């Protein structure tokens, strides 16, 4: 049953991660149409992302109680139902609906990793744990790519609200499809367990579970650089490297694809003997070396610039699966989902801080490229933390 259950669990958890991420990108990829209808500027998107990931951090902190009360299958359904509601709220509610939908998106998004980890930690063989979680984490770039490929075209034919409502309907159907998994995934749930129990708090796990706080700090540092790259790569290439907007967009898509492959590659490296925390430390050092090269690359030929950014993406977007797998390894017996939620608290906080910090550094450093090099201090701090945690 262990071997037979793993492929289905991996498919189901990856799909849920992809659908939740699809919802995160719903408004950003349709920003031109939405901003015209709503009469707002691009600044709304920055606020929306802050709302999403702040809510996700709160959910991650409290995910342990939800998992113990309802089980991972029901929590996955709650996450997807929240995503479907968010799509509908953003389509129908105007600016208040976007605010409500953004919070709902984050509340659901923060449940997907803990629920998936609770399931996969039981099924994944220890020798392949990092690869299994790396595969599951490919749902993040795949969900973002799916949003970018489908929603703008749908918006041309249906309007952006129509595209969002169609997405809500599709995600609602997927929510129902997870019901049969409850018999297997939720068998150990504890009905009536208090959702706000301190014993299931992610913050308590960070304090009490050895190594978990260091792992969470590492994730926060790495996510800050990763999201800053995603948020400003196109702007940087156009403004300071002289690329066209189309070329910069294609380069960004390539870097996202490299990040998906990197999650599998780094999982393989960790499983082949290097170990989770040393692998995370190596990822951080390579992220630093590639990020500090960006200001020197402005006169390089386009192929060399693209190679540099692909190398940054391979490191800056490839750490997630290893981190979640390491959280599952550190967890107390039967509490892998709670540990994953605890580890993601600071990761989501880094998502909020990283792009804002880069924007603040642009004026100080005199441009996006030197500011991005300064932001290499984040993965350096993460690498040091991962190495010190491993040495303990």
**How many distinct structural domains can be found in the chain?**
2
| pLDDT band (50, 70, 90) for residue 199 | very low
| pLDDT band (50, 70, 90) for residue 293 | very high
Instruction: Name the residue range of residue 313's domain.
Output: 199-392
Radius of gyration of the chain (CA): 20
For 103-113, write each residue's pLDDT tens digit. Answer: 999 999 989 98
Write down the pLDDT at residue 125: 87
| pLDDT band (50, 70, 90) for residue 123 | confident
Which DSSP string corresponds to 337-369? HHHHHHHHHHHHHHHHHHHHHHHHHHHHHTSHH
d(C-alpha 202, C-alpha 208), whole Å:
10
d(C-alpha 63, C-alpha 93), whole Å:
28
On whether residue 347 sits in a domain, the answer given is yes
Has residue 164 got a pLDDT over 90? yes
On whether residue 59 sits in a domain, the answer given is yes
Question: Poorest-confidence range of 202-211, 260-269, 290-299?
Answer: 202-211
Q: Which of the two residues, 123 and 252, has the higher pLDDT score?
A: 123
CB 314 within 8 A of CB 262: yes
pLDDT mean over 160-175: 95
d(C-alpha 227, C-alpha 233), whole Å:
10
Work out the number of other CB atoms within 10 angstroms of the CB of residue 109: 27
Same domain, 219 and 105: no
Same domain, 235 and 325: yes
Same domain, 292 and 391: yes
Q: Over pLDDT 70: what percentage of the chain? A: 94
Same domain, 60 and 96: yes
Name the residue with tokens 């997807």.
80
Write down the pLDDT at residue 205: 67
On whether residue 194 sits in a domain, the answer given is no
Same domain, 146 and 38: yes
On whether residue 193 sits in a domain, the answer given is no
pLDDT mean over 91-115: 92
Has residue 384 got a pLDDT over 90? yes
Last residue of a domain, one of 185, 219, 245: 185
Same domain, 165 and 224: no
Same domain, 64 and 127: yes
Same domain, 241 and 132: no
On whether residue 190 sits in a domain, the answer given is no
In this structure, what CATH number is given to the domain that contains residue 353?
1.20.1250.20
Same domain, 136 and 29: yes
Has residue 39 got a pLDDT over 80? no
Same domain, 43 and 112: yes
On whether residue 192 sits in a domain, the answer given is no
d(C-alpha 314, C-alpha 301), whole Å:
20
Has residue 198 got a pLDDT over 60? no
pTM, entire model: 0.81
Same domain, 205 and 172: no
């Amino acid at each position: 049953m262990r071997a037979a259950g793993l492929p289905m669990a991996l498919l189901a958890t990856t799909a849920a991660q992809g659908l939740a991420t699809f919802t995160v990108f719903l408004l950003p990829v349709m920003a031109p149409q939405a901003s015209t209808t709503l009469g707002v500027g691009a600044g709304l998107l920055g606020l929306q992302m802050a709302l999403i990931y702040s809510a996700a951090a709160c959910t991650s902190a409290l995910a342990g109680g939800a998992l113990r009360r309802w089980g991972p299958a029901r929590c996955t359904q709650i996450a997807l139902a929240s995503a479907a509601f968010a799509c509908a709220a953003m389509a129908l509610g105007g600016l208040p609906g976007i605010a409500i939908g953004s919070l709902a998106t984050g509340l659901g998004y923060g449940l997907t990793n803990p629920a998936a980890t609770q399931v996969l930690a039981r099924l994944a063989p220890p020798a392949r744990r990092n690869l299994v979680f790396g595969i599951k984490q490919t749902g993040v770039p795949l969900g973002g790519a799916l949003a970018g490929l489908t929603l703008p075209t749908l918006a041309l034919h249906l309007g952006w609200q129509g595209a969002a409502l169609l997405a809500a309907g599709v995600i609602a159907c997927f929510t129902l499809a997870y019901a049969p998994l409850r018999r297997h995934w939720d068998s150990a749930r504890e009905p009536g367990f208090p959702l706000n129990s301190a014993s299931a708090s992610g913050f308590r796990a960070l304090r009490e579970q050895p190594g978990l706080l260091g792992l969470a700090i590492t994730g926060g540092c790495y996510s800050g650089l990763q999201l800053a790259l995603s948020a400003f790569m196109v702007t940087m290439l156009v403004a300071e490297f002289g690329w066209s907007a189309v070329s910069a967009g294609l380069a960004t898509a390539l870097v996202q694809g490299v990040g998906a492959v990197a999650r599998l590659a780094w999982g393989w490296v960790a499983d082949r003997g290097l170990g989770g925390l040393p692998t995370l430390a190596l990822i951080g050092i390579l992220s630093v070396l590639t990020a500090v090269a960006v200001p020197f690359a402005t006169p390089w030929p386009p192929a060399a610039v693209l190679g540099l950014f692909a190398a940054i993406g391979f490191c800056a977007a490839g750490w997630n699966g290893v981190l979640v797998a390491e959280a599952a390894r550190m967890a107390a017996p039967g509490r892998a989902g709670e540990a994953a939620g605890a580890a993601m608290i600071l990761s989501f906080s880094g998502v909020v801080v990283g792009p804002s910090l880069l924007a603040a550094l642009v004026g100080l450093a005199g441009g996006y490229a030197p500011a991005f090099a300064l932001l290499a201090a984040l993965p350096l701090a993460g690498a040091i933390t991962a190495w010190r945690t491993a040495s303990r």
